[in-house]
Amino acid sequence: MAVRTIVVIPHDALNQKAKEITDIDEYVRTLATDMCDTMYKAPGLGLAANQVGEPVQLIVCDVVYPYADAKDKKKEPLIIINPRIRRSEGECVKEEGCLSVPELDVEVKRAACVQVEGVDLTGKSLMVDAEGILARVLQHEIDHLSGTTILDHASALKRSLYRRRIKKRSRRT
Ligand code: ZN
């Protein structure tokens, strides 16, 4: 088990377009396992590789475990390599937070349902139909892979206030 450091804004990896994964090698397998450990430890509902400073197209999420009853807690992370949104439907606005954008909640308009395709760790293609919280988490993590965070979804005013706040914070430390 290896918990990695989650990078926070401002950090280059969060603004980078993640590279497509062409080989599922030891590097990718270790990264995926570490990302799951990091997500459960945080705790968070999802994590994109950019958030641990590795801009490659890999996301992990688990929207069941954090809400599961203590007696049937089982970690079953969804790990998707090169995820793409194939279809999206409807609209839903909700507040979101992000482990890489601490102390900020932003209302983000997302599709209500999505169909995501990608590849699993064994190289098999997979397709996920999602609604509700899973649809939101998937769209949030896929956003990270294109270098987009919730800060980009915030209003210009909220964005500049937040930037000023983190500047002050980094001066203090
Ligand atoms: Zn995030």
* Tens of pLDDT, residues 37-72: 999 999 999 999 999 999 999 999 999 887 777 667
CATH number of residue 35's parent domain: 3.90.45.10
DSSP one-letter code for 157 = H
Asked if residue 2 is part of any domain, the answer here is: no
Asked whether residue 5 is domain-assigned, the answer is no
Report if residue 66 sits inside a domain: yes
In a domain, 111, yes or no: yes
Ligand 1 centroid distance, CA of 34 (Å): 16
Average pLDDT over the chain reads 94
Distance CA(77)–CA(39), nearest Å, equals 10
Q: What is the pLDDT of residues 94-131, one digit of tens each?
A: 999 999 999 999 999 999 999 999 999 999 999 999 99
- What residue spans of 21-131 are helical by DSSP H? 26-41
pLDDT at 173: 56
Ligand 1 center from residue 69 Cα (angstroms): 25
| Radius of gyration of the chain measured on its C-alpha atoms | 16
Structural domain count, the chain: 1
Report the DSSP beta bridge partners of residue 87.
Answer: 115
* Cα distance between residue 152 and residue 80, in whole Å: 23
3 domain residue, yes or no:
no
Residue 9's closest CA among 152, 113, 124? 152
Beta carbons of 61 and 47 less than 8 angstroms apart: yes
Q: What is the pLDDT of residue 73?
A: 78
CB 83 within 8 A of CB 57: yes
* Residue 2 Cα to ligand 1 middle (Å): 20
**Does residue 107 carry a catalytic annotation?**
no
* 135 domain-assigned: yes
In a domain, 7, yes or no: no
Query: Considering the domain boundaries, does residue 120 fall inside one?
Result: yes
Domain limits for position 38: 12-172
The 8-class DSSP code of residue 147 comes to: T
CA dihedral 138, 140, 71, 36 (to 10 degrees): 90
DSSP β-bridge partners for residue 89: 113
